[in-house]
Amino acid sequence: MTGGAGPASDAADPASSAVLAKAAHENFPVAPRFLPRAWRDDLMAVYGFARLVDDIGDGDLAPGGADAALLGIGPEAAEDRLVLLDALEADLRRAFGSARGGPSPGHPLLRALIPAVRRGGLTPEPFLALIEANRLDQRKTRYATYEELLGYCELSANPVGRLVLAITGTASPERIRRSDAVCTGLQLVEHLQDVAEDLARDRIYLPADAMARFLVSESDLAAPTANASVRTLVAVLTDRARRLLDEGAPMLSGTPGRLRLLLAGFIGGGRAAAEAIADAEYDVLAGPPTASRSALLRAVATTLRRGT
């Protein structure tokens, strides 16, 4: 369901191309081929930035320090995530300055953003929020309440949906509200799929108060399979994610054709991933439950048919 990367990948170095290639493994389509070429290019540029930010925050950059060098960071600080995030912010500001005729940024994925900034009239704030979410990941590894976790999603997920609306020229207060619900739902589903992977990074995105309510300990999350308490907690949080996706789905109403299909892909992708978690009987510890291509297509088709 994902489209090609377009000029963003053509101009990129091998490490940047590898970042963009990760789009094929997302729960939802990033830039399907049915979209206008300019939209596809701009969406892939935004995806490349978002993926680069996450790879820095997670310590998943390609080995060798190439990305650090492109951001102007020497070998002595190439493993310092906060230094890299600061350098990325500086390069992001250069990208916005370059869109107005200033010096070009150093990283190819930031240079790829410049046409999107110009075409969509994008502002720095959503991109800065994504950087701040990854700074937060360096100093905060547990979330006390569901509301606190939603605050994290406001930084880590919701800006992406707002950028999609800006790129497609369809932002409105109501669509932004619905988009925020969808993006938060998608983020919650991803957190549930990645419980074991996140714990290996010493991060837990399950609210501590909910863990206590269902008698789930951190040692339970380190087990090879989920016990009954973990499964119950995951089931409750999966239901919350589904309800957020449902809350956002009415944004399809009145949305023009190809954009409607793209948004249905986001929502259907989240619904298919939630269904995969349910099909795994909420055991997210044995491996990330993922939807098959056929299940994804069915979920998208159902979302389109219902219109919500």
* DSSP notation for 49-78: HHHHHHHHHHT-SPTTSHHHHHTT--GGGT
Rounded alpha-carbon distances, angstroms, from residue 54 to 57, 105, 259: 5, 19, 26
* Amino acid found at 193: Q
pLDDT at 7: 45
Quick one: CA torsion of 274, 44, 165, 125, rounded to 10 degrees? 100
- How many angstroms separate the CA atoms of 46 and 33, rounded? 16
Residues composing the chain:
308
Determine the pLDDT at residue 21. Answer: 65
pLDDT at 190: 96
Sign of CA dihedral 88, 94, 99, 103: negative
CB 128 within 8 A of CB 93: no
Give the angle subtended at the CA of 186 by the CAs of 157 and 45, to the nearest 5°. 50
- 196, exposed or middle or buried, with CB in 10 Å at 0-12, 13-18, 19+? middle
Would you write out the chain's pLDDT as a tens digit for each of its 308 residues?
A: 333 334 444 445 666 666 666 655 665 567 778 889 999 999 999 999 999 999 999 999 988 899 999 999 999 999 999 999 999 999 999 999 999 999 999 999 999 999 999 999 999 999 999 999 999 999 999 999 999 999 999 999 999 999 999 999 999 999 999 999 999 999 999 999 999 999 999 999 999 999 999 999 999 999 999 999 999 999 999 999 999 999 999 999 888 888 899 999 999 999 999 999 999 999 999 999 999 999 999 999 999 988 88
Relative orientation angle of helices 81-98 and 125-139, to the nearest 10 degrees:
180
User: Distances in Å between the alpha carbon of 288 and those of 76, 184, 283, 298?
Assistant: 35, 19, 9, 20
The pair of three-digit structure tokens given for residue 145, joined into one six-digit string: 């309440």
